[in-house]
Amino acid sequence: MEGFMTNAAELRNGRRDFIGGSDARIIMGEDQDKLIRLWREKRGEVEAADLSGELIVQLGTTTEELNRTWYERTSGNRVEDVQRRVRHPVHKWMGATLDGRVQETGAVFEAKFMLPWSFSEEAAAEKHMAQLQHNMWVVSARSAVLSIITGGGKWVEITVHADPLYQHLLLTAEKQFWRCVQSGDAPVLFGIETPRPRLEAIKIVDMAASNSWAGLAATYLRTREAHEDHELAKAELKKLVPEDAKEATGHGLKAKRSKSGAISFEALRVEVAHAPVQ
């Protein structure tokens, strides 16, 4: 046990000379106290937090191998580079300890354990977005797989794509933080709302309980054939307009040709003649 604790302490202290994926979440977060704590850790003023007594963290560590095995079994893909430590080729202060990479796609693999209370895929992706985007940037990956086991016995796979705008903001915030580590100036929260993550659409949703969906669906189905007839008539009318005609009118309809050659249609007002009052 003493050897394990020594190795754990060495691992925590070894994270001082770079910003990792879990650090990115704090840097992009909203907790000033956690940001200051991280800054002091990176400067060597305090020991890195000992998470050996955090049950949720330990559950994540304990289930990581099961998580990876379940993903491989379910997806048919293979995860390699497990617990590989890497650095960005240019920004040496950026690093990552990967849970793995998907051999078939090159995607970053991230295994997480989450509690089932109010669990949603959107919230899970948003919670871990900074870490995923950071790790993708470090290894130049175009996507990441978030593999989640919940305490409710559920397994979820979420695919997240590299987001250039998010990564630009992330890099700016991390550069700002690292300058503070080097200079000794206390950091402040980045304070910019990051864009919502772009997720791969994988859910199948039943909208039968939505009244709004029901009303709009009925309108769509009722007008679908009329719309198809409308589009067909418009296409055939365009063929009837002479090539040298700027406008063509008749039967309450005007066709106009633009300078680029595109034809548009306009319904004409039909004047109704009223008989004179006797």
Beta bridge partners of 87: 95
What's the pLDDT band for 253 if we cut at 50, 70, 90? very high
Report whether 61 contacts 52 (CB < 8 A). no
**Other CB atoms within 10 A of residue 227 CB:** 10
Quick one: pLDDT at residue 4? 35
Comparing 80 with 258, which gets the higher pLDDT?
80
How do residues 26-74 score in pLDDT, each as one tens digit? Answer: 999 999 999 999 999 999 999 988 877 888 888 888 889 999 999 999 9
Between 245 and 197, residue with greater pLDDT? 245
Residue 5 has pLDDT above 50, yes or no: no
Instruction: Give strand pairing partners of 185.
Output: none
Q: What's the pLDDT band for 208 if we cut at 50, 70, 90? A: confident
Provide the pLDDT confidence category of residue 204 given band limits of 50, 70 and 90: low
Contact present, 133 and 24 (Cβ < 8 Å): yes
Q: Is the confidence at residue 272, as pLDDT, over 60?
A: no
Higher pLDDT, 278 or 258: 258
Answer yes or no: are the C-beta atoms of 252 and 265 closer than 8 Å: no
- Which DSSP string corresponds to 36-58? HHHHHHHTTSSPPP--TT-HHHH
Paired sense of beta strands 247-250 and 155-161, if any: unpaired
| Domain ranges across the chain | 2-183, 211-267
For every residue of 109-154, DSSP letters joined together read EEEEEE--TT--HHHHHHHTHHHHHHHHHHHT-SEEEEEEEETTS-
Lowest mean pLDDT among 11-15, 78-82, 107-111, 273-277: 273-277
**pLDDT for the residue numbered 207:** 81
CA distance 71 to 92: 31
Specify burial of residue 192 (Cβ count, 10 A radius: 0-12, 13-18, 19+).
Answer: exposed
DSSP letters of 224-258?
HHHHHHHHHHHHHHHHHS-TT-SEEEETTEEEEE-
Q: 172, 131 in Cβ contact below 8 A?
A: no
Q: Cβ(268)–Cβ(253) under 8 Å?
A: yes
278: confidence class by pLDDT, cuts 50, 70, 90? low
What gap in Å lies between CA 94 and CA 19, rounded to an integer? 5
Provide φ and ψ at 150, rounded to 5°. Answer: -100, 160
Distance of alpha carbon 26 from alpha carbon 61, whole angstroms: 20
List, for residues 148-185, the tens digit of each pLDDT value. Answer: 998 888 899 999 999 999 999 999 999 999 999 999 99
Q: Which DSSP category does 71 fall into?
A: H
> Do 72 and 65 form a contact (C-beta atoms < 8 A)?
no
Does 2-183 carry CATH code 3.30.70.260? Answer: no
| 65-107 tens-digit pLDDT | 999 999 999 999 999 999 999 999 999 999 999 999 999 999 9
